[in-house]
Amino acid sequence: MSHQIQIIKPQTGKAFLLNKGQILTVTDPQGQQVSDMVMLNRHDHSEKISSGKTLDFEESILLTAGNFLWSNRSNKMVKIIEDTNGRNDFLLAPCSKETFEIMYDHTGYHPSCLENLTKNLEPFGLTQDDIPTAFNIFMNVQFNEKGKISVLPPTSKPGDFVRFEAMMDLLVCLTACSAEDSNGGTFKPIHYSISDSV
C-alpha cells in the first residue's frame, strides 16, 4: 500500500476507501486549516459516523489520541492513534450554503464542506441527506461551561497531523474546509496518506 501523499486542494474534498487495520494520516501542511471527515461502513452505508454515540462512549466533547470514533450502530470505526495538534471536535455540522447565508449574510455561491462531501460521495450512491455531522479535524471550537460556542482560528501549525487506525472497512470523505471564520481567513490544502502500518 502506497504512502503517497494525496492533496486535497483548498475548498474541495476527496472520498476514498480505507481497509480495516490501515492507517490514515491527515495533515495540515500550512497550518490553521480545518478538515471535515465523514466515514461510513463500506459494506453498508446506513452505518455511519455518529457524534452522539462518540460523545456518549468517549465521555468527551474534544477527541484526541486514545479516543475512538463510533458509528450510529455503536461500533468503533477508527481509533485516533496520534494527534500532534490536539484540538478536534464533533459539535458543529459541515458548513453549507445556508451557513454562509444565515450566519454571515453571504449572497450568491459559496463553496462549502457539505457540497464537497456530497459531490465526492455521490459516486458511491450517497445523497446530501445521507451526510452526518462530520468529525472536525483541527477545528478550534471553544465553549464555556454555560455552553456558549465560538469558533476561533485553528491552533494547528504547519505539518501537524492526526493519525487514525481503521477498525472496519470504511468509505471516508475528507474536505479542506471552505469557511472563512474556521480557517483564520484563508483557504489552504489538506494532505492525507494511507499506509498498512504506522
Contact set with its own copies (CB under 8 A): 46-47, 50-53, 55-57, 59-62, 72-74, 89, 91-94, 96, 98-99, 102-103, 129, 133-134, 143-150
| For its own copies, the closer CB: 22 or 133 | 133
| For its own copies, the closer CB: 19 or 74 | 74
| For its own copies, the closer CB: 108 or 198 | 108
Which uninterrupted H or E stretch holds 192?
strand 190-195
| For its own copies, the closer CB: 120 or 182 | 182
Strands 135-137 and 35-41: antiparallel
CB of 95 to its own copies, least distance (A): 8
Rounded CA gap, 31 and 184, in Å? Answer: 10
Is residue 69 within 8 A of residue 85, CB to CB? The reply is no
Rounded CA gap, 129 and 118, in Å? Answer: 9
CB of 165 to its own copies, least distance (A): 19
- Cell digits for 170? 470504511
CB of 31 to its own copies, least distance (A): 22
Rounded CA gap, 119 and 152, in Å? Answer: 27
Displacement of CA 19 from its chain's centroid (Å): 18
CB of 62 to its own copies, least distance (A): 4
Which one-letter amino acid corresponds to residue 166? A
| For its own copies, the closer CB: 23 or 83 | 83
Rounded CA gap, 131 and 39, in Å? Answer: 9
CB of 84 to its own copies, least distance (A): 18
